Structure 1
């Protein structure tokens, strides 16, 4: 299969074993997540979602239990007048900075064409890999997660998710968290199998 999107020209996508769903949290009535657009991992092993509808940030444990909610509409202390996304350019490259403090790196972003369709939907980093959710415009749109080694930026393979997602995050235990918005807000936690590409 010829590569598209985040891979270098002429590079073919290597499929990694399918992620294994380890937990799912659905917000059937809208009270759990509100109107989330992004998900982020926390240092404690849980995750955060941003609630655009109520301008709140909601924290959860790794088991999906609500921990706290912060913010609200307004312009006073602890209030937000909006939660705006930062658009991500079409192409990214990861470049270690030799002048940075050991262990720190720089993510260099390059926009090839200001009018280009967005290719990257979400980016997150684990201890050794960068995960990039490819937006795409096919039946696999928002389902392909390309991975790159943090040490040198080398492409490490791709995961194909069974559902379209709007945002991804890594948790401290190594799982990948995904946020879906197709029907009801849903957070799924995935165990990532061995990095041996499928044949």
Structure 2
């Protein structure tokens, strides 16, 4: 039985368009496999800690170091990786704040990326991701609209895809968007957003 981890990061809670888009993605996946289990992780309610000096030291500590398992500042990060490993599919819902992701999601990503845990360096000095065979769906909501499908500077999906590929090992990432949420009289059309859905 597959498990979906739905990560939400909007301060708007149930009023969030990105959260709702993520739910629609999950509903679409459930049509194909009704036995799928879902776990939701609200990063606003259970917010990640911000970096501290001692935390960064722990993030670069080898898991083989005897002190690693007693390092308290790694508690959230260890739990995060455990949840990721448990999931088969990850749905990440994020609003667009000033061209970027929410602060909660950025802090979550900072807790995820750890040398020796999510990636390592090979003999040539290149990064190798250690968590693979995961499918990720990005559910992105924005108040404005892209000028065209060829518009450059996709700060959100490009950033998340690059981080997951380089520092985690996840390369199967698909993005869906709901746009124009700040326009007067906006009515979301999630079905249209998922027209070309990829299982």
- Superposition TM-score tier, normalisation by shorter sequence: under 0.3
Higher strand share: 1
Compute the TM-score of the two structures, normalised by the length of structure 2.
0.26
Compute the TM-score of the two structures, normalised by the length of structure 1.
0.26
Higher helix share: 2
